[in-house]
Structure 1
Amino acid sequence: MTTHISKAPGAGTPAPRTTLLRAITAAGGLATVASTFLAWTWTSDFPGDLTVYGYPGGLQVLTLALGLATLLFAVAALDVRGLRWLTPAGSTAALRLLALGAFATTWFTLLAIAVDQGGLVNLEPGGWVAAVATAVPVATAFLLTDDTRPVCRPRQLPSWADILIIAAVFALGLYVVNYGIQTDEDNPEPFIGYLIALCFAAAAFLKAGLITRLSGLTSTYRSLTLVAALVTALVFPFTQDKASYTELGVNIAIFATVALGLNIVVGLAGLLDLGYVAFLGVGAYTAALVSGTAASTIHVTFPFWAAMLAGALASLVFGVLIGAPTLRLRGDYLAIVTLGFGEIFRIAVSNLDGTSGPSVTNGPNGVPNIPPLEIFGFNFDDEHSFAGFTLDSNSNYYLLMLLVTVIVVLIFSRAGNSRIGRAWVAIREDETAATAMGINGFRVKLIAFALGATLAGVAGTIWAHVQTTVVPEQYVFAGPVPPNSTFLLAAVILGGMGTIGGPLLGAALLFLIPEKLEFLQDYQLLAFGIALILLMRFRPEGIIPNRRQQLEYHETGQLDVPDQAALSGSAVGVTKAEA
């Protein structure tokens, strides 16, 4: 018996209507690009100066980028040779998202001009052109039929081409990060537009399959990818022209490192720790008391390496002391106990003032005037010249924190891939089953708790010298300003539990957004709640997902029972001829 598969006439060739819609979408993308070279308003009071003809400025740059991406993806959808690699998973979903991104960014800018300047009369003709031009691709893209398909294996490229792609991606990533960090600090509009454009662009690239292709490429060249990431991070302080921008990088690196330590406890071992910020405080107070400051009550001076070891050891001891009696609890009970420990730490250091208790921490006044770090004669508060660049104190601390982050990443990676790491995952998935297989659940959980506390203590020693002051109010469960346990836990969940990049990205976003949008600082908990609700609904595995959890949270269809039509082989276009 021979099976013949008949092919409908014209199969594989887009219908004339589809081709026309794609062409109109491409034309709309081109018009969007052209509109950014026109003036959108007459006054330069709006941030970015959108009054110039001939080149884009401010938020127009974002519209230009999204319009150009819409144009390229629409042309790629027309099966133009050389651009098919842009849409390995189909073009329709990505086109819709890019068109929506350009539309949302442009209309947000135009509405912001009208609100800030006092009415739509402040729009120049270029603004109206942009409004219409961005609406056209949205209308046509949603009329296209969905062409989503599985991502196929790409055509093999030379090694040098793959290396260039990885380098270009990291260079583009550095530019995107710098654009967000260097937005106007006094006006929220540029950063809000940046967030809108970034979210739509990232979702579009994910739907198009580009991120999947890139993930496969970085997996193939894992060592090269790690080197590229490290070089990009090293270059960061040399690309900043303000000390405040580098200070953002220092704080993000510190909290990302602490979040990565919490990820061992929460992401790998599955232990809900709501008082983790206390271990950061233990390390910070220890380093402050042995730093040689006149405000210290123990009057000793340790070199930095000894202070860091002391902070790490103190946090380790506290982790063991707190974990030993409490880690026999599970779930909500453990979360309540750790929450209580965090509050006990804050209240205890507030009372160790010589009046309510022994004189150790100066009570609510804390330990001020912590001297700058100095390693082998290198003072981190002084400016230093390197290859024609001047590194200020923030750049010095950033590079030091980068070294600590690399060490923490190595520890997390090695621990997660070890036998202990596999035991943590087994405990997280089902502690009863893991215990039945011979895993000592208490010992394994205590190791996770102690290791996470130690890493937080190491970051706390640097945090104390960066802030030059340590006070109890810095270490609370929830508050408008990080660090706090809510912030760290949200960074782990938002970024992706059990991964390395997840907490790093989550901490960067959750620190940068309130810093740039000051009006959100009083509503930080509300913003966290809304973000987590949306995350649990649309992407419960986090922004950078763990592969195992991604399969758990989403239906894969592997266990679906095929219908009778599929079993009988009566698909359309299949004819059977008997031999």
Structure 2
Amino acid sequence: MRLNPVTPELQQRHRRTGWLLALVGAVLLIGSPYLPWAWSDDALDDMTYLFGPSPTQFLGLALGAVLLVCLLAPRLLARVLAGRRARWFAFADGAKAAALGALVFVAVVVVGIAVELGGLVNVRYGGWIALVAALLAVAGTMLLPRDRPATLGGVRSPGWLVISTIAVVMLVTLLLVAYALDEDDPVIFVALLAFVAGVVAVLLKLGVGPWFSSQTARHRGVLVASAFLVAFAFPFTQDGSEANMSIATQVLIFAATALGLNIVVGLAGLLDLGYIAFLGAGAFVAAILSGSAFSAVGWNPPFIVTVLISGVVASLLGLIIGSPTLRVSGDYLAIVTLAFGEIFRLVMINLDGSDGPDLTNGSNGIPGVPDLDLLGFDFGEPHVLLGVEIGRFANYYFLLLLVIALIMVVFANLNRSRIGRGWVAIREDEKAAEAMGVNVFGLKLFAFAGGAFLAGVAGAVRAHHDISVTPDQYIFLESAFLLAAVVLGGMGTIVGVLLGAVLLRLMPEKLRFVDEYRLLIFGALLVLMMRFRPEGLVASRRRQLEFHEDDEELADKVDPTVTRAEGAR
């Protein structure tokens, strides 16, 4: 089902008119940031100046410039390259994505001004011109004929160009994340998300996304090293801000847990709605063995031992719940795992010395968990690194980076192994896999135990990071958010799950002003994702074709080398 209701015949007849409308819209979008958008400087980042665009207005200008390039590039390339390479790009589709992204961006800003200042009357003429320009651009691009699929993904590029592109992408990512965390205005944060989504959509339509994916497959080591270098550099951009680093560490804990769940759901295809219990098991074990004054156990082993015990206890719980229940599947498995998550929470509440052994202090949990002291390094004390003071949360941030690196190595190797191929076979067709000699029950059990172990490791770090552990931290809603991160990002992928985890943990922190409607917004986003991109934000080619079996255009886009490589995994 296409979003564009205009018929191809109408597009061919009015394509020149559409191009002119879109061109006018692009020019107005570029010029409108130099006009005032609001009557008061209390809205967003002060959009009251004439010929003085604010940083947010510059984002709208950038979207207008991208739209203008998409409209003019085919003609310029056709002249310069005699049309030979202009067909590599789908410029019309890129223009449509840029126009739609600009409309969403301007609409968010206009609504934000109205909300923060008390009505649409506070939006000045510059904002209305920008909104009309975006509408003109969308209407004009709808009249443009559809392009042939972009073929840039099959172009082989020199190594220096790919490595330089990776460096630029990582640097831009670091700057965007730092800017987003430093921004206190939630409307600006949402507008920034709309801007990034629009630019990414344009790059995907132009074929730059498939090109980047295919080229980085040849330089995967450089990509991974660059990503970790950027992640390592992030605390140095925060100027000692403990608030931002606290959010960042929470994001990493959530991401590490989601990667563990990705083994169960993304690879093995087992719908687990109680996965948060394994994170809680690791956290409670670490808190009990932490030496806290509120712990009923007097043993305080080194943290390395505690981590291993936490992971083993969580994996044993995975075996206990998996052994009797993994002979069922689908909705029945989901119901059983949901019940297990609730049972775990209630058991932790009952281990208060009254209804059961005194281990967890009941609903009060175990407060006063001391900071880690690993090999003489006190995570609770600030340290100076490369001339920059690194606070408590930054210390845990670096530790969690190592944990995520470990989980990524485990996940990648399992995915490439016979075990990973067996999980994928079970996910695709359990009966067929069993008929081909795959040990279905054993691999399911291993997936549950392995995913639980990784969650237990993340839980052990979380206990010391949060200082206290209570049963109410591990409710069903947390399991739902973890599952949503896997589905939203892209099941069976590493980058996709990390991206989904970052979005789902970061957005609630920045959208507290709509606290009552956060779940409604979250549900609406998931519905839109399931409608327009069910394979996730970052999906493998195999899953894209699974969800779009009848899409011949998508099949044509698949790089044969990538398809063969994935088929060999």
Same fold (TM over 0.5): yes
In the aligned structure 1, how far is the partner of 2:493 from the partner of 2:382?
A: 36
Q: Does 2:472 align with 1:488? A: no
Question: Per-residue CA shift, 1:72-121, capped at 9, x if unaligned?
Answer: 22221323449998984411122122122223322332343234324455
Q: What's the counterpart of residue 557 of structure 2?
A: none
Q: What's the counterpart of residue 97 of structure 1?
A: 97
Matches within 5 A, 1:127-206: 127-152=127-152, 156-184=156-184, 187-206=185-204
In the aligned structure 2, how far is the partner of 1:424 from the partner of 1:445?
A: 8
Show structure 1 runs of 5+ residues with no match: 1-14, 479-483, 560-579
In the aligned structure 1, how far is the partner of 2:122 from the partner of 2:330?
A: 57
Amino acid at match of 2:62: A
Aligned-residue identity in percent: 45
Q: Specify which of 49, 53, 57 is matched with residue 54 of structure 2.
A: 57
Amino acid at match of 2:182: Q
Q: Does 2:297 align with 1:330? A: no
Q: What's the counterpart of residue 501 of structure 1?
A: 495
Q: Which has the higher helix share?
A: 2
Q: What's the counterpart of residue 230 of structure 1?
A: 228
Please tell me whether the aligned partners of residues 92 and 147 of structure 1 are also in contact (alpha carbons under 8 angstroms): yes
Question: Per-residue CA shift, 1:17-46, capped at 9, x if unaligned?
Answer: 856754664454243223223332232111
Instruction: Report the 3-state secondary structure (helix = DSSP H, G, I; strand = E; otherwise coil) of the residue aligned with 1:146.
Output: coil
Q: What's the counterpart of residue 566 of structure 1?
A: none
Question: Per-residue CA shift, 1:322-350, capped at 9, x if unaligned?
Answer: 21222222222222221111111100010
Please tell me whether the aligned partners of residues 92 and 148 of structure 1 are also in contact (alpha carbons under 8 angstroms): no
In the aligned structure 2, how far is the partner of 1:558 from the partner of 1:154?
A: 17
Moved more, 124-133 or 138-147: 124-133
In the aligned structure 2, how far is the partner of 1:156 from the partner of 1:418?
A: 28
Amino acid at match of 1:369: G
Matches within 5 A, 1:335-414: 335-414=334-413
Please tell me whether the aligned partners of residues 153 and 214 of structure 2 are also in contact (alpha carbons under 8 angstroms): no
How does the TM-score come out when normalised to structure 1? 0.87
CA, structure 1 residues 361+388, in 2 after alignment: closer, same or farther (shift >3 Å)? same
Runs of 4+ displaced beyond 6 Å: 82-87
Please tell me whether the aligned partners of residues 153 and 210 of structure 2 are also in contact (alpha carbons under 8 angstroms): no
Q: Does 2:520 align with 1:526? A: yes
Amino acid at match of 1:466: H
Please tell me whether the aligned partners of residues 66 and 197 of structure 1 are also in contact (alpha carbons under 8 angstroms): yes
Question: Per-residue CA shift, 1:130-152, capped at 9, x if unaligned?
Answer: 34443443333222222233414
Please tell me whether the aligned partners of residues 18 and 139 of structure 2 are also in contact (alpha carbons under 8 angstroms): no
Please tell me whether the aligned partners of residues 50 and 58 of structure 1 are also in contact (alpha carbons under 8 angstroms): no
Q: What's the counterpart of residue 217 of structure 1?
A: 215
Instruction: Report the 3-state secondary structure (helix = DSSP H, G, I; strand = E; otherwise coil) of the residue aligned with 2:389.
Output: strand
In the aligned structure 2, how far is the partner of 1:17 from the partner of 1:549?
A: 37
Please tell me whether the aligned partners of residues 157 and 215 of structure 2 are also in contact (alpha carbons under 8 angstroms): no
In the aligned structure 2, how far is the partner of 1:85 from the partner of 1:349?
A: 64
Question: Per-residue CA shift, 1:191-241, capped at 9, x if unaligned?
Answer: 222232233332222222111111111112111111111111111111124
In the aligned structure 1, how far is the partner of 2:141 from the partner of 2:41?
A: 34
CA, structure 1 residues 472+22, in 2 after alignment: closer, same or farther (shift >3 Å)? same
Please tell me whether the aligned partners of residues 87 and 209 of structure 1 are also in contact (alpha carbons under 8 angstroms): no
In the aligned structure 2, how far is the partner of 1:107 from the partner of 1:526?
A: 19
Amino acid at match of 1:37: Y
Moved more, 442-451 or 328-337: 328-337
Please tell me whether the aligned partners of residues 290 and 301 of structure 1 are also in contact (alpha carbons under 8 angstroms): yes
Moved more, 135-144 or 238-247: 135-144
In the aligned structure 2, how far is the partner of 1:381 from the partner of 1:132?
A: 53
In the aligned structure 2, how far is the partner of 1:356 from the partner of 1:84?
A: 77
Instruction: Report the 3-state secondary structure (helix = DSSP H, G, I; strand = E; otherwise coil) of the residue aligned with 1:221.
Output: helix
Pairs aligned (count): 539
Q: What's the counterpart of residue 454 of structure 1?
A: 453
Question: Per-residue CA shift, 1:499-535, capped at 9, x if unaligned?
Answer: 1112111111111111111144444443443233222
Amino acid at match of 2:140: T
CA RMSD of aligned residues (A): 2.5
Q: Does 2:109 align with 1:109? A: yes
Matches within 5 A, 1:460-471: 460-471=459-470
Instruction: Report the 3-state secondary structure (helix = DSSP H, G, I; strand = E; otherwise coil) of the residue aligned with 1:170.
Output: helix
Show structure 2 runs of 5+ residues with no match: 1-11, 554-569
Q: Does 2:33 align with 1:36? A: yes
CA, structure 1 residues 254+120, in 2 after alignment: closer, same or farther (shift >3 Å)? closer
CA, structure 1 residues 115+453, in 2 after alignment: closer, same or farther (shift >3 Å)? closer
Moved more, 343-352 or 64-73: 64-73
In the aligned structure 1, how far is the partner of 2:259 from the partner of 2:496?
A: 8
Moved more, 66-75 or 528-537: 528-537
Instruction: Report the 3-state secondary structure (helix = DSSP H, G, I; strand = E; otherwise coil) of the residue aligned with 2:76.
Output: coil
Please tell me whether the aligned partners of residues 367 and 470 of structure 1 are also in contact (alpha carbons under 8 angstroms): yes
How does the TM-score come out when normalised to structure 2? 0.89
Please tell me whether the aligned partners of residues 322 and 448 of structure 2 are also in contact (alpha carbons under 8 angstroms): yes
Amino acid at match of 2:349: S
Amino acid at match of 1:514: P
Please tell me whether the aligned partners of residues 18 and 142 of structure 2 are also in contact (alpha carbons under 8 angstroms): no
Please tell me whether the aligned partners of residues 174 and 236 of structure 1 are also in contact (alpha carbons under 8 angstroms): yes
Moved more, 151-160 or 325-334: 151-160
